[in-house]
Amino acid sequence: MKQNNQVFDNVLDLIGNTPLIRLNKITSKFKGNFFAKVEAFNPGHSSKDRIALHIIEEAERKGILNPGDTIIETTSGNTGFSIAMVSIIKGYDCVLAVSSKSSADKIDMLKTMGAKVYVCPAHVSADDPRSYYQVAKRLHEEIKGSVYINQYFNELNIDAHYHSTGPEIWNQTEGKITHLVACSGTGGTISGTAKYLKEQNPNIKVIGVDAFGSVLKKYHETREFDEKEIYPYRIEGLGKNLIPTATDFDAIDEFIKVTDEESAHTARLIAKTEGLFVGYTSGAAMQAIAQLNEQGEFNENDNVVVIFPDHGSRYMSKVYSDKWMNEQGFFDSVNHETEKTVQY
Ligand code: PMP
């Protein structure tokens, strides 16, 4: 059992230094050694704690943020939660403009964490004054002393991972990491971590995980924005319909795409094999590893690190709901014997 007698001053002191956990059963038939960086061990249960704290502390250092000021962002997801948590401890107002597509649970959670939530219509275009982008922009202009986190276009997002996730993985693997596999949404996690790791050893191979329906992989290969790549998909937090400047495409060697269905089954398999209850994109990252293994990417002595970005509890009404899985048709194509609920 882990020993820890340290008393922390507040919850923010627990951000970062997440464990690297060896994967045993799920990778038993794969070539190589596999380790998961489990970001659910952050107090806000995701890697977004790192960027919320880093971006806010950088603004403090630059004198942009002062006690009582307001922090603005446009997400109902992990970043919103992390900003709300940091704001509570540091005494800022947190304003989140979110889409009306966000679940009531998510909105309630953010309100519980002290955030002021503006629910904006989902069906309007990004340049409509009612869209959550425009509402956030307007609030930023109107509220004196406010800071707009803007995670997709804020290079401090990369910086946060360059200064924390990268060095942690390097030290935890004692420099023996050969591959990094990480999901790309804003791209901050993979870009910052890759940049640090490649400075230590340029031979480390960095593989980004993208969704079918997202433009990132194609953009990486051609440096052209191809609208034809875009269509709806279910995994939240992975891939994008625009090119974020928080992604350093030169730091990534290749992208691999994964499907909603295989990622969902793989997320459930991580829980059943490793006892790790992690989010949908962790399933996507693990699915990418299975595909890479199939392609012969790994050798026996390779040390592959995969980032699991968040906790499974945020997906109870989605990937961890049998009802939802059935509604998506995800139980139809394969006989998932272990997925069936035993009735007494
Ligand atoms: N997984 C989840 C659940 C996320 O919310 C995000 C962030 N959008 C990612 C993965 C991708 O991380 P990043 O934004 O740093 O690329």
Per-residue DSSP letters for 46-70?
Answer: BTHHHHHHHHHHHHHHTT---TT-E
Ligand 1 center–CA 124 separation, angstroms: 24
What's the pLDDT at 101?
78
Tell me the pLDDT of the chain averaged across its residues: 94
Residue among 48, 195, 217, 257 flagged as catalytic: 48
The SS3 of residue 167 is helix
Q: Is 312 in the pocket of ligand 1 (CB under 6 A)?
A: no
Position 343 pLDDT exceeds 60: no
Task: Compute the distance between CA of residue 234 and CA of residue 265 in angstroms, rounded to an integer.
Answer: 13
Tell me the residue ranges of DSSP E strands in the chain.
Answer: 20-22, 33-38, 70-73, 93-99, 116-120, 146-148, 179-183, 205-211, 254-258, 303-308
pLDDT band at 124 (very low <50, low <70, confident <90, very high): confident
What's the pLDDT at 337?
47
What's the pLDDT at 3?
81
The SS3 of residue 91 is coil
User: Among residues 317, 331, 292, which one has the least CA distance to residue 103?
Assistant: 317
Q: Is 74 in the pocket of ligand 1 (CB under 6 A)?
A: no
- Protein residue with its CA nearest to atom 9 in ligand 1: 237
CA-310 nearest atom, ligand 1: 3
- Protein residue with its CA nearest to atom 4 in ligand 1: 237
In this predicted model, what pLDDT tens digit does every residue of 37-49 receive, in sequence order? 999 999 999 999 9
In this predicted model, what pLDDT tens digit does every residue of 19-35 receive, in sequence order? 999 999 999 999 999 99
116 is catalytic: no
Ligand 1 center–CA 238 separation, angstroms: 6
Task: Compute the distance between CA of residue 119 and CA of residue 96 in angstroms, rounded to an integer.
Answer: 8
Q: Which residues contact 252 (CB under 8 A, 6 or more apart)?
A: 184, 190, 191, 194, 206, 207, 208, 220
Position 341 pLDDT exceeds 70: no
In this predicted model, what pLDDT tens digit does every residue of 66-91 receive, in sequence order? 999 999 999 878 999 999 999 999 99
Predicted ipTM?
Answer: 0.99
Q: Is 184 in the pocket of ligand 1 (CB under 6 A)?
A: yes
Ligand 1 center–CA 40 separation, angstroms: 12
Find the mean pLDDT for residues 232-251. 94
Ligand 1 center–CA 35 separation, angstroms: 19
Position 340 pLDDT exceeds 80: no
- The residue among 14 and 103 whose pLDDT is bigger is 14
Lowest mean pLDDT among 48-62, 86-100, 116-130, 296-310: 116-130
Q: Is 237 in the pocket of ligand 1 (CB under 6 A)?
A: yes
Position 313 pLDDT exceeds 60: yes
Q: Is 185 in the pocket of ligand 1 (CB under 6 A)?
A: yes
The SS3 of residue 74 is coil
Q: Is 183 in the pocket of ligand 1 (CB under 6 A)?
A: yes
Task: Compute the distance between CA of residue 45 and CA of residue 187 in angstroms, rounded to an integer.
Answer: 19
Task: Compute the distance between CA of residue 107 and CA of residue 99 in angstroms, rounded to an integer.
Answer: 10
pLDDT band at 336 (very low <50, low <70, confident <90, very high): low
The tokens describing 229, both together, are 């790549």
pTM of this prediction? 0.95
Residue type, 82: S
Ligand 1 center–CA 323 separation, angstroms: 25
What's the pLDDT at 79?
95
Find the mean pLDDT for residues 110-117. 97
What's the pLDDT at 344?
52
Ligand 1 center–CA 5 separation, angstroms: 32
Task: Compute the distance between CA of residue 110 and CA of residue 113 in angstroms, rounded to an integer.
Answer: 5
In this predicted model, what pLDDT tens digit does every residue of 242-285 receive, in sequence order? 999 999 999 999 999 999 999 999 999 999 999 999 999 999 99
Q: Is 166 in the pocket of ligand 1 (CB under 6 A)?
A: no
Find the mean pLDDT for residues 217-228. 96
- Protein residue with its CA nearest to atom 7 in ligand 1: 237
- Protein residue with its CA nearest to atom 11 in ligand 1: 185
Which H, E and C letters describe 185-240, residue by residue? CCCHHHHHHHHHHHHHCCCCEEEEEEECCCCHHHHHHHCCCCHHHCCCCCCCCCCC
What's the pLDDT at 333?
60
- The residue among 289 and 127 whose pLDDT is bigger is 289
